[in-house]
Each structure stands twice: as structure tokens, then as C-alpha cells.
Amino acid sequence: MSQTPTDTPDIESLRQHPTVSIEDAGKLLGISRSYAYAMARSGHLPTIALGVRRRRVPTAALLRLLQVAD
């Protein structure tokens, strides 16, 4: 299955990366982009800081939220 930038990532491709964007995490969680960013700001979606402005969601934390075994 080929993946275009607008496709929702699947669990198997998620496991190949240590982090994902907040937007992709939102797609996997089935929530809007703006709600995913609101969850990240409130701390309900775990993120790590990469520099001053960039934030990413650790894959392991996202898998736990999705209740998928690592």
C-alpha cells in the first residue's frame, strides 16, 4: 500500500519511526488537527520538544494511547 502525504498513517508504518507529528498523531487518534494541538498544549497528548518551536509525539506514547502492544 502506497502512502501519500494526505493518507492516515497505519500502525505498522508508525512503528518504524521514533516520533510522529502532532497532526499525524491526531489522524491516528481520529481527532481534528486543532484538537490534537490543543491536547498537546494541555499535556493530554505527550510530546517532546525539538528546539524552541518544534514538538513531536513519541511513537511509544502514542501506541499506549491507542492501546496497541509495543
Residue given cell 500500500 in the structure block: 1
Specify the pTM: 0.81
Mean pLDDT across 8-27: 89
| Residue pLDDT, tens place only, 20-66 | 999 999 999 999 999 999 999 999 999 999 999 999 999 999 999 99
The residue ranges of every structural domain in the chain are: 11-65
Residue 14: what pLDDT?
Answer: 84
> Contact at 8 Å (CB) between 63 and 14?
yes
